[in-house]
Amino acid sequence: MTGELEYTNEPYAVAKIAGIKMCESYNLQYGTNYISVMPTNLYGPNDNYNLETSHVLPALIRKMHLGKCLGNQDWTAIRKDLKKYPVEGINDSSSEGEVIAKLAKFGIVSSLKETSGKTEITINLWGTGSPYREFLYVDDLAAACVYALQNVDFKDLVTEGKPAINTHINIGTGRDLRIKELAELIAGIVNFKGTLSWDSSKPDGTFRKLLDVSKINRLGWKEKISLEKGISMVYEKYIS
């Protein structure tokens, strides 16, 4: 509570802060023992893969999977994907031309290279790829919540002789990476061989959102699932 809220995030942030402050105030006034946790960006199985509404990590996984399948002309895999997650009326029974046109709208662009006769895929992504984001596998968040329930009391979050403020617990890894690095990591895991193109005319969003996780680490908890392992697990689940 020492800095200005980022404007595009402000209403969402105010709502979260109100809940945290309500629990903190109940603890101080009525002796309750609410623990508020604040997770970083989460990912995991059964995420939202809708190309219009999904967050960056699941969106990149799906786009690169579809891009890989298009490049390989693997229409069985493409139709399997569209059967589970239709895209604006395009599903597993749509024609190849309809599917190609619709995917191009969402930045998955295929073109035939005359010299080789091979289909080349370009995935167009918003922004410059320079902002940083931190990610936590959802099972690690669940483990942290259970750990806090079993091992942490509100009194553990109050520094003696100081006002009881900012008593929530950040849950994350304490490490972030650029969106461009994330895209390249996912491309390697998915085995997408096409081109990533960045549209700098589109907004980047908040530059950095790294959490200070020293409190949860000091209380005895640390994440176990690395980003590379977590994304690999998610992709394996996705294609199955």
* Catalytic site residue from 12, 26, 49, 235: 12
Query: 215: closest CA among 130, 132, 147, 139?
Result: 147
How far apart (Å, rounded) are the C-alpha atoms in residues 141 and 42? Answer: 8
For residue 162, what is the enclosing H or E element?
Answer: none
Instruction: Give 209's contacts (C-beta < 8 A, 6+ positions apart).
Output: 40, 41, 132, 133, 134, 176
Q: Does 34 participate in catalysis according to the annotation?
A: no
Residue owning tokens 């579809």:
66
Contact 78, 97 (CB under 8 A): no
How far apart (Å, rounded) are the C-alpha atoms in residues 121 and 240? Answer: 23
Catalytic residues: 12
